[in-house]
Structure 1
């Protein structure tokens, strides 16, 4: 069947109706834009020397301005020709957003979710279907994450606590010239509140469901004339919501040995929280010419594994049985909020299948920790120096380091299917130097350079006993890996801003980047010394090096103070590398960069006397050499484990996004967003789908073998929220708020799941709708507030991620259930 007729959205529409919907949405967008332009009034003066427009009405019901720095200088959000969602610290607090992943509810086409337990303390991040979900330091993220203009190179630890945040900017679409590599989907920029010497600050305390305790505080102070400091800290602790039971204790007749004893079979709970962080910022601003900021931060996150439950279990390989011979099957499925997770596997001997000479080789007992521990620290320095009134020099220097240790029982049972203990360490240094020059009244130029050097080490103990060809065992696979990865990047860039008239602006940027990466494989026996005989590439390595030029051109025209339209063309890419997880010599293969060219039309409007803000955009992506990770790849060396990144093919994608903010009367706010995206593979690499080497094929029978959209993409996504600040006179104000968000369905594995297969039945990530509510009281002086928040109001059961290992031969599918309904009371004192 042709690929078009097979494509379905989250709510079951086929591609043709979805195309009709998209066309209708695009038409509606253009109609609204035209109406908005007419409502906006007469056009701007056409010449640069004409008088500026009248200032907008600033009465209480109007929408305040948000200043962003997406183009290296301060601009109003509505003047920036980029699709941006900008959220202030106050608006995030009103939405009960506590971590970076929370902002995805409010941003169209953005997916930010905590990763499954198999990937440690990391996130899945994508924008417009382009991103990454693999924590391995050999893999590059497709969404650039920045903390106070410092690049955060990894997805591990990226689910940042929104501690003392000033604002978050989500830039949608490729940012290859403005932010550099690995921002093909877009970029997320986190900005802390900067010291000002105003001696402001706050203290906040929260208590809630499952003994939740959150404490946070911040203080701004003046040390001397022109010297300011700011210190902030956060503490979070909460019990988990998925019970981990001892299987032998719960099922004494099974014969599985119990490790708990007595009748208390509960070992611990997953999905708990244990977080501590502190940040200090020192700012020296003696005059208008010099501004120096030095910041440092430390984070410690210690908790049990992410919440997970077993959804499917079926493996007849005799090597994966429990220590007393029970097969791995559905008996180990515990329920919606429980599992039988273990922290190791028992000793046994290999039962041979295809190779009888291997019969009797011992499996050593392996073990790890039930805790996932992430610790990180970083320092950075930012110097802004005005050489003249027209020329400004900016230097940003940063160093970051982290370590994440965690263990994963892939089968969530006392069976011996697969177990891994992981330790990832990483340090990175970066330096950026930027020169901004106002050449004349209509021309601004930015030129700069960027270098980064990162060294990571991925240590792991892997105990994989399910390697088989069909029902027949192939080999025993226990090994230690200790792989160093070195990643370097150098770039130079330029960005030109022209404003030939007060209504017309032109922005053009160019960036040259050279990336290099080296990876060395160490595969040893569990003694940590002897090379593993089944993985014959110990000590071998590979190097990836590639140069790239990206560009961006944007034109925007302001019809009036109320309406601006823009058009842009931009490119971006994600660097390539080598497969970091080969399980045989044939899997030691590289993969090239993926790249995208984006065409975008947008409109930003402030209508109805600045009571209505409506921002719209439509985009078209030309995507090439998609990097997709195969979890089943017998075409690369035979049966068994697989986690092989390959360039899978090319695609075209188009979408529409809308954001609205309405303040019809003082105190009332209604906000929302909507996105729809259509994806179509134009060709697929035949080898990726098991058809042998060959050119990228547009044959529908080949394209149908791959999932209809990439991981991390949602066809439909929307949210709507409303709040009203009621004036209680001397008693202060009372503000209730209600939010509803819809997250579209996502695919499971890269390859299309056969109808009726376990992957099709249990491995796909379904759509879900969540509701949050909050009511906040402020005293009249706005110095004291008390808030009651309820998240997941209707107690919806849903999955944030799934991990399907059936294609690799493990016979297991697990899911990460989202947090159930929770309540919390927060008391905050500002000063």
Structure 2
């Protein structure tokens, strides 16, 4: 049975409202207990968040929010944002870009960018550190400093947070200087040669100045060894960073925070291994004879060529992570350098008004050296042929942002008003030399001969001497954004709260495709024009409204309904030959929720249902452009016609039945459906005239978004002795259903079920002062579960149409499906001294 959109909306919101209506009896029972203490030792404490630009209680804030606090960071051994990929927040999805661990893909509620690492392309979930928006996803996996909490704001945040928050926002809040001497030292070591250390020191206030210093070091050896001596393996990282924060409070009412941070992250990609040989049964002949060997967007009638055999020495393994690679390749660590200066100024002019200024300058420098694996790029054997594509890239980004805010309350109205300016410059270039060469086949057995060194291949010396001898592509872009926004909450009664707001944004982008397909368009403008290239010069205007109605059924039970919109800015793909622009995508969201504390605040239950309709979805398609004998694989970003449907339910339950024991369960259901889209392939002759074309309705998919995801945890603390010392136990499990990796392919990754744990002896008194010691052992992926989180079928399917025939596809380079496995089991011991 199929329901129309209106009926689906009524059913979803109606279901959430029905759940709300079951609570009044419970609320009345709670209110009828005279003299009950507002909170006892077993009760759940309030969580403070700043999602509305002011400090509010999580339970009374009418937004779907999850908070990763310090305790969760410690228990799950979260050292960087990538460690949240285990699914501790089910609706938050985190994964790495194939080429680098430090380039993260972050998604919420089905808004997941496939490749936001391009200079002129944006993310769909905004990441903020102390209120400062980070323009690029590069460097996001750098070590977290002294993080107080990570607020996961779900759904469009276009009014208060702005562009590129259509799926939500990730707000990282660090600890500010306290003005009192104290701090902590942390250290530990684990398997894979891992070790870590951190120092967080607060200095005493001096002449109204308070200073805090943070330093972090993290190292882990490779998860897959590189057979080539002296070269970096896969899955390795080496991070170091520091931060200095200064708080100046010249007199009451003014707080001025300055911060400078700098970090360096050396890392290598996770190993991409051959998972299956010719899994789709490709064979020469009529397409109908190989029904599964279908390249999306094509309409082949026949397949030509022959699938190559797997070369000797290449291992096929689709079950477990290979701890030793089959082919050694040249590889050095990629390096991400991040740095920035921030000033947060607050002036409480009057009880009704506080003025704020957030000024920031930040930068990222990236050197990418990605040779994810010799067994897939592609190892089909031709005597003397080059293989194993070495993906080299440089990126330089600088951004400046200025935000002014007025926050306050007048009578029964809370308000926020602001102005925002953002200026970003990004440039990149890339080269793709091949790192290996097959040996000759002297005996004619169709396999490379074994050389004197025992290998069937040699290293291409060019990757040592001049890896950037030929630049394949390069681009530069400047993005500017201006916004004015406001939001007000009217407390109509003690129980009824109505919020309305809006944000007007103007985006400008100017970009240049400097090099494409090895051709320098600055030196050859006529050739660029012949290929259809024009610089990017676009301006977009946008208004995002928001309305929320919230009602307090009791002091502990709150319900709300919300409408909001958001968008992701437009741009252009630097992977194209002509730099065609694409427009922003936008989303409208309808949400209803309930937040309830009950059982004398020993239990907390939050439920949200939402409907989102997305227009102009940005997706990638492969097209092939022909200019005489030159062929270019054009990765073009387009806006899909029609609406994408995203529907979901989120639920969180926390229970503290007895003192010391906390149980938590979270669940997220996310349904996504993108419209069928006609895709046309055309072929041209040497004169550039179209000789044939075919149009196919293609289905696209939302990537890295499981239909069902869940997480659960158990925490138990037992006092030891007469002091504050406790033994703490933590155990969590996280499940996610299989998802797509690429928006053009139906093929899915594996489902996952991962468990983590920690046991610690906490707060051991050391002497008569405040010094306390905590020691613990931890483990991630305790049962060493292996699953493919990124699966790529592109080299298991036919090539694109040739320049002469759009209905015939070649399988001459088909080998198989490759992919990346998750992190194996890691474990270690650590100690913390507080003083």
Q: Does 1:492 align with 2:484?
A: yes
5 Å matches for 1:431-450?
431-440=402-411, 442-450=412-420
1:231 partner SS: strand
Shift of 1:181: 0.1
CA distance, structure 2, for counterparts of residue 123 and residue 343 of structure 1: 24
Alignment of 1:191-230 (within 5 A): 191-230=173-212
Measured at CA, do residues 534 and 479 of structure 1 come closer, stay the same or move farther in structure 2, by a change above 3 Å? farther
Q: 1:600 aligns with which of 591, 601, 605?
A: 591
Cα distance between partner residues in 2 of 1:748 and 1:664: 41
Aligned to 1:561: 555
Equivalent residue number for residue 97 of structure 1: 78
**2:658 alignment partner in structure 1:** 665
| Contact 2:395–2:426 (8 Å) recurs in 1 | yes
Deviations 1:585-604 (A, max 9, x none): 4xx32211100000000000
Residue 463 of structure 2 corresponds to which residue in structure 1? none
Query: 1:327 and 1:677 mapped to 2: Cα distance?
Result: 40
- 1:624 equivalent to 2:615? Answer yes
Are the equivalent residues in 1 in contact too, given 2:195–2:219 (CA < 8 A)? yes
Shift of 1:61: 0.8
Structure 2 residue matching 1:130: 3-state secondary structure: coil
2:705 to 713, 728, 736: 713
Paired residues, number: 724
**Displacement of 1:169:** 0.4
**CA drift at 1:407:** 2.5
Matched, 1:794 2:787: no
For residues 25-54 of structure 1, the C-alpha deviation after alignment (integer angstroms, 9 at most, x for no partner) is 988765654343321227999xxxxxxx98
1:131 CA displacement: 2.6
- Contact 2:12 2:610 (8 Å CA) reproduced: no
CA distance in 2, matches of 1:617, 1:778: 36
Picking from 595, 606, 610, the partner of 1:615 is 606
- The answer for the alignment partner of 2:325 in structure 1 is 339
The answer to whether 1:372 aligns with 2:334 is: yes
- In 2 relative to 1, CA 272–522 (structure 1 residues): closer, same or farther, beyond 3 Å? same
Matched, 1:40 2:24: no
Does the 8 Å contact 2:789/2:820 carry over to 1?
yes
CA distance in 1, matches of 2:14, 2:509: 45
**Aligned 8 A contact 1:120 1:156 in 2:** no
Residue 380 of structure 1 aligns to a residue whose secondary structure is strand
How far off is 1:330 after superposition? 5.7
SS of match in other structure, 2:679: helix
Contact 1:427 1:455 in 2 (8 A): yes
Verify the 8 A CA contact 1:238 1:273 in the aligned structure 2. yes
Q: Partner of 1:150 in structure 2?
A: 132
Superposition deviation, residue 639 in structure 1: 6.3
For residue 300 of structure 2, what is the aligned residue in structure 1? none
Indicate whether 1:65 and 2:52 are aligned.
no
Name the CA distance, whole Å, in 1 between partners of 2:626 and 2:21. 54
The equivalences for 1:500-539 within 5 A come to 500-523=492-515
Any conservation in 2 of the 1:313–1:330 contact (CA below 8 Å)? no
TM-score normalised according to structure 1 size? 0.81
Q: Distance in 2 between matches of 1:537 and 1:342?
A: 38
Match of 2:754 among 770, 791, 795: 770
CA contact (8 A) 1:723 1:735 kept: yes
- 2:672 pairs with one of 632, 656, 679: 679
CA distance in 2, matches of 1:178, 1:328: 56
> Is contact 1:462-1:480 (8 Å) kept?
yes
For residue 772 of structure 2, the aligned residue among 767, 776, 783 is 783
Specify the SS of the correspondent of 1:451. strand
- Alignment partner of 1:390 out of 352, 355, 358: 352
CA distance in structure 1 between the partners assigned to 2:663 and 2:677 by the alignment? 46
Match of residue 421 from structure 1? 392
Q: Which one is further off, 149-158 or 814-823? A: 814-823
Deviations 1:61-116 (A, max 9, x none): 11011111111111000110000001221222122222223335222321012221
Task: Determine whether 1:722 maps to 2:714.
Answer: yes
Q: Secondary structure at the match of 2:59?
A: helix
Distance change >3 Å, CA 457–CA 29, structure 1 → 2:
same
The answer to whether the Cα contact below 8 Å between 1:184 and 1:572 also exists between their aligned partners in 2 is yes
> Quick check: 29-38 or 385-394, which moved more?
29-38
Report the TM-score when normalising by structure 2: 0.80
Change beyond 3 A, Cα 1:526–1:628: closer
Consecutive unaligned residues in structure 1, runs of 5 or more:
6-14, 46-52, 247-259, 261-265, 317-325, 345-368, 466-476, 692-700, 754-759
Cα distance in 1 for partners of 2:7, 2:78 equals 35
Residues 164 and 606 of structure 1, relative CA distance in 2, 3 Å threshold:
same
1:126-150 CA-partner distances (Å, limit 9, x unpaired): 1111131421121100000000100
Structure 2 SS opposite 1:39: helix
CA distance in 1, matches of 2:656, 2:7: 32
Alignment match of 1:735 (pick from 728, 731, 739): 728
- How far did 1:242 drift? 1.1
Match of 1:385, SS? strand
CA pair 594-690 structure 1, distance change in 2 beyond 3 A? farther
Please, which moves more after superposition, 489-498 or 634-643?
634-643
Matching of residues 319-358 of structure 1 within 5 Å: 329=310, 331=312, 332-333=314-315, 335=317, 336-337=321-322, 338-340=324-326
Going from structure 1 to structure 2, the CA distance change for 1:533 and 1:767 (only over 3 Å counts) comes to farther
Question: Given that residues 157 and 566 in structure 2 are in contact (C-alpha distance below 8 angstroms), is that contact kept between their aligned partners in structure 1?
Answer: yes
Assess, with a 3 A threshold, how the Cα gap between structure 1 residues 633 and 108 changes in structure 2: closer, same or farther.
Answer: same
| Structure 1 Cα separation of the partners of residues 146 and 626 of structure 2 | 49
Please, which of 808, 819, 832 is the counterpart of residue 815 of structure 1?
819
What is the distance in 2 between the residues matched to 1:286 and 1:143?
37
- On the 8 A contact 2:608/2:649 being kept in 1, the answer is yes
**Which of these residues, 122, 129, 142, is aligned with residue 140 of structure 1?**
122
> Matches of 2:50 and 2:492 in 1, distance apart?
21
**Correspondence for 1:350:** none
Structure 2: give runs of 5+ residues left out of the alignment: 284-306, 380-385, 436-468, 684-693, 766-770, 801-812
Residue deviations 1:173-226 (CA, integer Å, cap 9, x gap): 000001000000000000000111122211010110111101011011124143
Do the aligned partners of residues 749 and 131 (structure 1) sit closer, same or farther apart at CA in structure 2, a change above 3 Å counting?
closer
Contact 2:479 2:508 in 1 (8 A): yes
Equivalent in the alignment of 1:298: 262
Assess if the C-alpha contact under 8 Å between 1:170 and 1:188 holds in 2: yes
SS of the residue corresponding to residue 38 of structure 1 reads helix
8 Å CA contact 1:132, 1:141 repeated in 2: yes
- Check 1:334–1:567 CA distance in 2 against 1; reply closer, same or farther (3 A cut): same
CA RMSD of aligned residues (A): 3.5
